[in-house]
Structure 1
Amino acid sequence: MTKVTIIAGGHSVQSRLTGVLQHVKHRLTLNGIDVHIIQVHQLPSDALIGADFSNEDIVKAIGLVNESDGVIVLTPVYKASFSGILKTFLDLLPQKAFQGKPVLPCVLGGTYGHLLVIEYALKPIIHQLGATAVQSGVYVVDHQVTKQDSDSYVLDLDATNRLNLALSQYQSLIGGTAHVAHP
Protein backbone atom coordinates (compact mmCIF):
# COMPACT_ATOMS: atom_id res chain seq x y z
CA MET A 1 0.00 0.00 0.00
CA THR A 2 1.21 3.51 -0.80
CA LYS A 3 2.22 5.49 2.31
CA VAL A 4 2.17 9.26 2.65
CA THR A 5 3.29 11.23 5.68
CA ILE A 6 1.82 14.66 6.35
CA ILE A 7 4.15 16.88 8.35
CA ALA A 8 1.93 19.49 10.03
CA GLY A 9 3.84 22.51 11.29
CA GLY A 10 1.02 24.30 13.10
CA HIS A 11 0.91 25.20 16.77
CA SER A 12 -2.48 23.72 17.63
CA VAL A 13 -4.96 21.08 16.49
CA GLN A 14 -7.71 23.66 17.03
CA SER A 15 -6.63 25.88 14.11
CA ARG A 16 -7.84 26.26 10.54
CA LEU A 17 -4.74 24.36 9.45
CA THR A 18 -6.45 21.28 10.87
CA GLY A 19 -9.28 21.86 8.39
CA VAL A 20 -6.82 21.64 5.50
CA LEU A 21 -5.16 18.61 7.11
CA GLN A 22 -8.49 16.82 7.54
CA HIS A 23 -9.43 17.46 3.91
CA VAL A 24 -6.08 16.22 2.59
CA LYS A 25 -6.15 13.11 4.79
CA HIS A 26 -9.73 12.31 3.80
CA ARG A 27 -9.00 12.60 0.07
CA LEU A 28 -5.92 10.42 0.29
CA THR A 29 -7.48 7.69 2.44
CA LEU A 30 -10.55 7.71 0.20
CA ASN A 31 -8.17 6.73 -2.59
CA GLY A 32 -6.59 3.84 -0.69
CA ILE A 33 -3.47 5.63 0.53
CA ASP A 34 -2.12 4.90 4.00
CA VAL A 35 -1.74 8.33 5.66
CA HIS A 36 0.45 9.10 8.68
CA ILE A 37 0.43 12.48 10.39
CA ILE A 38 3.23 14.13 12.30
CA GLN A 39 1.88 16.99 14.41
CA VAL A 40 5.24 18.61 15.07
CA HIS A 41 3.97 20.70 18.00
CA GLN A 42 3.07 17.46 19.79
CA LEU A 43 6.65 16.16 19.68
CA PRO A 44 8.71 16.79 22.84
CA SER A 45 9.89 20.40 22.63
CA ASP A 46 13.14 19.77 24.47
CA ALA A 47 13.99 16.97 22.02
CA LEU A 48 13.17 19.20 19.04
CA ILE A 49 15.11 22.20 20.27
CA GLY A 50 17.99 20.13 21.62
CA ALA A 51 18.17 18.00 18.45
CA ASP A 52 17.86 14.82 20.52
CA PHE A 53 18.10 12.19 17.80
CA SER A 54 17.81 9.43 20.40
CA ASN A 55 14.38 10.57 21.64
CA GLU A 56 11.84 7.82 20.96
CA ASP A 57 9.20 10.19 19.52
CA ILE A 58 11.74 11.90 17.25
CA VAL A 59 13.06 8.54 16.04
CA LYS A 60 9.51 7.38 15.30
CA ALA A 61 8.64 10.59 13.40
CA ILE A 62 11.79 10.44 11.29
CA GLY A 63 11.04 6.77 10.64
CA LEU A 64 7.59 7.68 9.29
CA VAL A 65 9.19 10.05 6.80
CA ASN A 66 11.82 7.51 5.79
CA GLU A 67 9.21 4.76 5.23
CA SER A 68 6.86 6.95 3.19
CA ASP A 69 6.40 6.95 -0.57
CA GLY A 70 5.55 10.65 -0.46
CA VAL A 71 5.42 13.62 1.89
CA ILE A 72 3.02 16.52 2.28
CA VAL A 73 4.36 19.53 4.14
CA LEU A 74 1.59 21.59 5.73
CA THR A 75 2.29 24.89 7.46
CA PRO A 76 0.72 28.19 8.44
CA VAL A 77 2.40 31.44 7.45
CA TYR A 78 4.13 33.24 10.32
CA LYS A 79 6.07 36.47 9.78
CA ALA A 80 6.07 35.96 5.97
CA SER A 81 7.54 32.44 6.19
CA PHE A 82 6.66 28.92 7.25
CA SER A 83 6.45 28.11 10.94
CA GLY A 84 9.51 27.80 13.15
CA ILE A 85 7.99 24.63 14.59
CA LEU A 86 8.16 23.07 11.14
CA LYS A 87 11.72 24.30 10.55
CA THR A 88 12.85 22.78 13.85
CA PHE A 89 11.59 19.36 12.75
CA LEU A 90 12.91 19.63 9.19
CA ASP A 91 16.34 20.40 10.65
CA LEU A 92 16.30 16.98 12.36
CA LEU A 93 15.64 15.03 9.17
CA PRO A 94 18.55 13.32 7.41
CA GLN A 95 20.10 15.40 4.64
CA LYS A 96 18.35 13.49 1.82
CA ALA A 97 15.17 12.49 3.69
CA PHE A 98 12.92 13.52 0.78
CA GLN A 99 15.03 11.92 -1.96
CA GLY A 100 12.83 9.83 -4.25
CA LYS A 101 9.65 11.05 -2.54
CA PRO A 102 7.21 13.40 -4.26
CA VAL A 103 6.47 16.37 -2.01
CA LEU A 104 3.38 18.57 -1.95
CA PRO A 105 3.68 21.83 -0.02
CA CYS A 106 0.42 23.23 1.41
CA VAL A 107 0.31 26.60 3.13
CA LEU A 108 -2.40 28.43 5.08
CA GLY A 109 -2.08 32.20 5.30
CA GLY A 110 -4.05 35.27 6.30
CA THR A 111 -3.87 36.96 2.90
CA TYR A 112 -2.67 36.24 -0.62
CA GLY A 113 0.14 38.68 0.13
CA HIS A 114 2.20 35.75 1.41
CA LEU A 115 1.55 33.44 -1.54
CA LEU A 116 5.22 33.39 -2.51
CA VAL A 117 6.20 31.80 0.81
CA ILE A 118 5.89 28.48 -1.01
CA GLU A 119 8.44 29.43 -3.67
CA TYR A 120 10.90 31.50 -1.68
CA ALA A 121 10.85 29.99 1.79
CA LEU A 122 9.45 26.45 1.76
CA LYS A 123 10.60 24.96 -1.54
CA PRO A 124 14.32 25.68 -1.00
CA ILE A 125 14.24 23.65 2.24
CA ILE A 126 12.30 20.84 0.56
CA HIS A 127 14.85 20.71 -2.26
CA GLN A 128 17.70 20.80 0.26
CA LEU A 129 16.22 17.64 1.78
CA GLY A 130 16.69 15.88 -1.56
CA ALA A 131 13.26 16.22 -3.14
CA THR A 132 13.26 16.38 -6.92
CA ALA A 133 9.53 15.94 -7.54
CA VAL A 134 8.01 18.97 -5.81
CA GLN A 135 4.58 20.15 -6.86
CA SER A 136 3.81 23.85 -7.19
CA GLY A 137 1.88 23.70 -3.93
CA VAL A 138 -1.46 24.92 -2.66
CA TYR A 139 -2.02 28.17 -0.79
CA VAL A 140 -5.26 28.48 1.20
CA VAL A 141 -6.41 31.71 2.83
CA ASP A 142 -7.76 31.61 6.40
CA HIS A 143 -11.23 32.81 5.43
CA GLN A 144 -11.59 29.80 3.10
CA VAL A 145 -11.69 27.47 6.12
CA THR A 146 -14.61 27.63 8.54
CA LYS A 147 -14.68 25.82 11.86
CA GLN A 148 -17.94 24.07 12.70
CA ASP A 149 -19.40 23.50 16.17
CA SER A 150 -18.39 19.83 16.04
CA ASP A 151 -14.65 20.61 15.76
CA SER A 152 -14.81 19.81 12.08
CA TYR A 153 -14.02 22.25 9.30
CA VAL A 154 -15.52 23.21 5.97
CA LEU A 155 -13.40 24.50 3.09
CA ASP A 156 -14.90 26.80 0.51
CA LEU A 157 -15.33 25.60 -3.07
CA ASP A 158 -12.25 27.35 -4.45
CA ALA A 159 -9.91 25.90 -1.80
CA THR A 160 -11.53 22.47 -2.14
CA ASN A 161 -11.14 22.44 -5.92
CA ARG A 162 -7.50 23.57 -5.81
CA LEU A 163 -6.61 21.03 -3.12
CA ASN A 164 -8.40 18.22 -4.96
CA LEU A 165 -6.62 19.03 -8.22
CA ALA A 166 -3.23 19.16 -6.51
CA LEU A 167 -3.93 15.89 -4.69
CA SER A 168 -4.96 14.16 -7.93
CA GLN A 169 -1.71 15.28 -9.54
CA TYR A 170 0.22 14.27 -6.44
CA GLN A 171 -1.33 10.81 -6.44
CA SER A 172 -0.16 10.29 -10.01
CA LEU A 173 3.40 10.99 -8.81
CA ILE A 174 3.21 8.47 -5.96
CA GLY A 175 1.40 5.84 -7.97
CA GLY A 176 -1.97 6.28 -6.28
CA THR A 177 -4.02 7.06 -9.38
CA ALA A 178 -5.93 3.79 -9.64
CA HIS A 179 -8.67 4.88 -7.26
CA VAL A 180 -8.76 8.65 -7.65
CA ALA A 181 -12.09 9.91 -6.36
CA HIS A 182 -13.62 12.98 -7.91
CA PRO A 183 -15.45 15.75 -6.06
Structure 2
Amino acid sequence: MAAILSVSGSPSPTSRTSRLLRHLDDRLRLQGHDVTPLDVRTLPAQALLGADFRHPAIVAATDLFTQADGVVIGTPVYKAAYSGLLKSLLDLLPQYALSGKTVLPLATGGSTAHVLAIDYALRPVLSSMGASHIVPGWFTLDKDVAADDHATQIVTPAAAEALEQVTDHFSATLGGRTGALRRTA
Protein backbone atom coordinates (compact mmCIF):
# COMPACT_ATOMS: atom_id res chain seq x y z
CA MET A 1 0.00 0.00 0.00
CA ALA A 2 1.17 3.54 0.73
CA ALA A 3 4.28 4.73 2.52
CA ILE A 4 3.23 7.05 5.35
CA LEU A 5 5.41 9.36 7.40
CA SER A 6 3.91 10.04 10.85
CA VAL A 7 5.45 13.23 12.28
CA SER A 8 5.13 14.33 15.90
CA GLY A 9 5.95 17.98 16.49
CA SER A 10 5.86 17.70 20.27
CA PRO A 11 8.96 18.66 22.26
CA SER A 12 7.90 16.50 25.23
CA PRO A 13 9.31 13.01 25.83
CA THR A 14 5.97 12.10 27.51
CA SER A 15 3.89 13.56 24.72
CA ARG A 16 0.20 12.84 24.32
CA THR A 17 0.57 13.95 20.70
CA SER A 18 3.20 11.28 20.04
CA ARG A 19 1.16 8.69 21.93
CA LEU A 20 -1.89 9.53 19.81
CA LEU A 21 0.11 9.31 16.58
CA ARG A 22 1.64 5.93 17.47
CA HIS A 23 -1.88 4.68 18.22
CA LEU A 24 -3.09 5.84 14.79
CA ASP A 25 0.08 4.42 13.17
CA ASP A 26 -1.01 0.98 14.37
CA ARG A 27 -4.42 1.42 12.75
CA LEU A 28 -2.82 2.51 9.48
CA ARG A 29 -0.52 -0.54 9.53
CA LEU A 30 -3.56 -2.79 9.98
CA GLN A 31 -4.96 -1.17 6.85
CA GLY A 32 -1.90 -2.28 4.90
CA HIS A 33 0.28 0.84 4.98
CA ASP A 34 4.00 1.07 5.70
CA VAL A 35 4.27 3.68 8.47
CA THR A 36 7.48 5.41 9.54
CA PRO A 37 7.32 7.46 12.76
CA LEU A 38 9.36 10.64 13.13
CA ASP A 39 9.51 12.44 16.47
CA VAL A 40 10.98 15.85 15.62
CA ARG A 41 12.29 16.16 19.20
CA THR A 42 14.82 13.40 18.41
CA LEU A 43 16.51 15.53 15.75
CA PRO A 44 19.56 17.51 16.89
CA ALA A 45 18.49 20.86 18.36
CA GLN A 46 21.60 22.59 17.02
CA ALA A 47 20.76 21.48 13.48
CA LEU A 48 17.12 22.59 13.80
CA LEU A 49 17.79 25.94 15.45
CA GLY A 50 20.92 26.65 13.40
CA ALA A 51 19.12 25.87 10.13
CA ASP A 52 21.75 23.30 9.20
CA PHE A 53 20.21 21.94 6.00
CA ARG A 54 23.23 19.68 5.46
CA HIS A 55 23.21 17.97 8.84
CA PRO A 56 22.87 14.20 8.25
CA ALA A 57 19.79 13.98 10.51
CA ILE A 58 18.05 16.81 8.63
CA VAL A 59 18.97 15.26 5.27
CA ALA A 60 17.57 11.91 6.49
CA ALA A 61 14.34 13.57 7.69
CA THR A 62 13.98 15.35 4.34
CA ASP A 63 14.43 12.00 2.58
CA LEU A 64 11.61 10.52 4.68
CA PHE A 65 9.28 13.25 3.39
CA THR A 66 10.43 12.61 -0.19
CA GLN A 67 9.75 8.86 0.08
CA ALA A 68 6.30 9.20 1.66
CA ASP A 69 3.02 9.00 -0.25
CA GLY A 70 1.14 10.40 2.74
CA VAL A 71 2.11 12.40 5.80
CA VAL A 72 0.40 12.60 9.17
CA ILE A 73 1.42 15.79 10.98
CA GLY A 74 0.65 15.90 14.69
CA THR A 75 1.29 18.81 16.99
CA PRO A 76 0.36 20.07 20.40
CA VAL A 77 -1.23 23.50 20.27
CA TYR A 78 0.73 26.24 21.99
CA LYS A 79 -0.41 29.88 21.92
CA ALA A 80 -3.13 28.99 19.36
CA ALA A 81 -0.65 27.54 16.83
CA TYR A 82 1.45 24.48 16.09
CA SER A 83 4.66 23.93 18.03
CA GLY A 84 7.84 25.88 17.39
CA LEU A 85 9.67 22.57 17.14
CA LEU A 86 7.47 21.53 14.21
CA LYS A 87 7.97 24.97 12.65
CA SER A 88 11.75 24.52 12.90
CA LEU A 89 11.58 21.31 10.89
CA LEU A 90 9.09 22.60 8.33
CA ASP A 91 11.35 25.63 7.75
CA LEU A 92 14.25 23.31 6.85
CA LEU A 93 12.32 21.27 4.31
CA PRO A 94 12.30 22.24 0.64
CA GLN A 95 9.55 24.70 -0.33
CA TYR A 96 7.44 22.01 -1.99
CA ALA A 97 8.33 19.07 0.25
CA LEU A 98 4.65 18.05 0.40
CA SER A 99 4.05 18.23 -3.34
CA GLY A 100 2.05 15.22 -4.47
CA LYS A 101 1.41 14.13 -0.87
CA THR A 102 -1.83 13.52 0.97
CA VAL A 103 -1.63 15.05 4.43
CA LEU A 104 -3.62 14.43 7.61
CA PRO A 105 -3.20 17.27 10.17
CA LEU A 106 -3.84 16.44 13.82
CA ALA A 107 -3.55 18.53 16.96
CA THR A 108 -3.84 18.03 20.69
CA GLY A 109 -4.53 20.61 23.35
CA GLY A 110 -5.98 21.32 26.73
CA SER A 111 -9.02 23.30 25.61
CA THR A 112 -11.50 23.36 22.76
CA ALA A 113 -10.58 27.05 22.43
CA HIS A 114 -7.70 25.79 20.26
CA VAL A 115 -9.74 23.63 17.91
CA LEU A 116 -9.32 26.04 14.98
CA ALA A 117 -5.51 25.92 15.16
CA ILE A 118 -5.48 23.21 12.51
CA ASP A 119 -7.40 25.30 9.98
CA TYR A 120 -5.94 28.72 10.77
CA ALA A 121 -2.33 27.90 11.65
CA LEU A 122 -1.31 24.46 10.35
CA ARG A 123 -3.32 24.00 7.15
CA PRO A 124 -1.99 27.18 5.46
CA VAL A 125 1.64 26.17 5.91
CA LEU A 126 0.94 22.64 4.68
CA SER A 127 -0.80 24.08 1.64
CA SER A 128 2.09 26.47 0.97
CA MET A 129 4.41 23.45 0.93
CA GLY A 130 2.49 22.00 -2.00
CA ALA A 131 0.37 19.29 -0.38
CA SER A 132 -1.82 17.92 -3.13
CA HIS A 133 -4.61 16.91 -0.75
CA ILE A 134 -5.04 17.93 2.87
CA VAL A 135 -7.79 15.74 4.29
CA PRO A 136 -9.96 17.05 7.13
CA GLY A 137 -7.89 17.07 10.30
CA TRP A 138 -8.84 16.52 13.90
CA PHE A 139 -8.27 18.17 17.26
CA THR A 140 -8.14 15.92 20.33
CA LEU A 141 -8.32 17.13 23.90
CA ASP A 142 -5.40 16.14 26.11
CA LYS A 143 -7.83 14.57 28.57
CA ASP A 144 -8.89 12.09 25.85
CA VAL A 145 -5.37 10.68 25.42
CA ALA A 146 -3.80 8.49 28.09
CA ALA A 147 -0.88 10.09 29.91
CA ASP A 148 0.74 6.71 30.61
CA ASP A 149 2.72 4.79 27.96
CA HIS A 150 1.48 1.51 29.46
CA ALA A 151 -2.22 2.35 29.45
CA THR A 152 -4.43 -0.34 27.96
CA GLN A 153 -6.61 2.28 26.33
CA ILE A 154 -4.70 5.08 24.57
CA VAL A 155 -7.73 7.09 23.45
CA THR A 156 -11.03 7.44 25.31
CA PRO A 157 -14.10 6.01 23.60
CA ALA A 158 -15.44 9.56 23.23
CA ALA A 159 -12.52 10.51 20.98
CA ALA A 160 -11.84 7.13 19.37
CA GLU A 161 -14.71 7.09 16.88
CA ALA A 162 -13.91 10.49 15.36
CA LEU A 163 -10.20 9.67 15.17
CA GLU A 164 -10.97 6.37 13.46
CA GLN A 165 -13.12 8.19 10.91
CA VAL A 166 -10.46 10.76 9.98
CA THR A 167 -7.75 8.09 9.94
CA ASP A 168 -9.87 5.79 7.77
CA HIS A 169 -10.65 8.65 5.37
CA PHE A 170 -6.91 9.40 5.08
CA SER A 171 -6.20 5.70 4.54
CA ALA A 172 -8.91 5.34 1.90
CA THR A 173 -7.55 8.39 0.08
CA LEU A 174 -4.20 6.58 -0.08
CA GLY A 175 -5.80 3.32 -1.22
CA GLY A 176 -5.90 1.48 2.11
CA ARG A 177 -8.55 -0.94 3.26
CA THR A 178 -10.83 0.36 5.98
CA GLY A 179 -14.19 -1.44 6.06
CA ALA A 180 -13.33 -4.63 7.95
CA LEU A 181 -11.41 -3.15 10.86
CA ARG A 182 -12.68 -3.61 14.37
CA ARG A 183 -12.47 -0.76 16.76
CA THR A 184 -8.93 -0.37 18.16
CA ALA A 185 -9.64 2.06 20.96
| TM-score category, normalised to shorter length | over 0.9
Contact 1:2/1:174 (CA < 8 Å) preserved in 2? Answer: yes
In the alignment, what sits opposite 2:74?
Answer: 74
* Higher fraction of strand: 1
Contact 2:19/2:149 (CA < 8 Å) preserved in 1? Answer: no
Alpha-carbon RMSD: 1.7
* Structure 1 CA distance for aligned equivalents of residues 179 and 59 of structure 2: 32
Contact 1:5/1:72 (CA < 8 Å) preserved in 2? Answer: yes
* Structure 2 CA distance for aligned equivalents of residues 101 and 53 of structure 1: 21
SS in 1 for 2:130: coil
Contact 1:147/1:153 (CA < 8 Å) preserved in 2? Answer: no
Q: Under a length normalisation based on structure 1, what TM-score does the superposition of the two structures give?
A: 0.94
Identity %: 38
2:29 is equivalent to residue 41 of structure 1: no
Q: Under a length normalisation based on structure 2, what TM-score does the superposition of the two structures give?
A: 0.93
In the alignment, what sits opposite 1:157?
Answer: 157
Aligned length: 183
2:118 is equivalent to residue 125 of structure 1: no
Q: Return the letter of the residue paired with 1:119.
A: D
Q: Return the letter of the residue paired with 1:58.
A: I
In the alignment, what sits opposite 2:102?
Answer: 102
Cα distance per residue 1:88-135 (max 9 Å; x no partner): 000111111111111000000101001010110000000010013111
Which runs of no fewer than 5 residues in structure 1 stay unpaired? none
Contact 1:65/1:97 (CA < 8 Å) preserved in 2? Answer: yes
* Structure 2 CA distance for aligned equivalents of residues 133 and 5 of structure 1: 15
Cα distance per residue 1:125-172 (max 9 Å; x no partner): 000100131112010001111234726662111211111101111011
* Structure 1 CA distance for aligned equivalents of residues 171 and 149 of structure 2: 32
Contact 1:108/1:140 (CA < 8 Å) preserved in 2? Answer: yes
Contact 1:16/1:153 (CA < 8 Å) preserved in 2? Answer: no
| Residue 29 of structure 1, CA deviation | 1.0
| Residue 180 of structure 1, CA deviation | 5.7
Cα distance per residue 1:40-93 (max 9 Å; x no partner): 111011111111111111111110011000001000001111100000000111
Contact 1:96/1:128 (CA < 8 Å) preserved in 2? Answer: yes
2:184 is equivalent to residue 167 of structure 1: no
In the alignment, what sits opposite 1:84?
Answer: 84
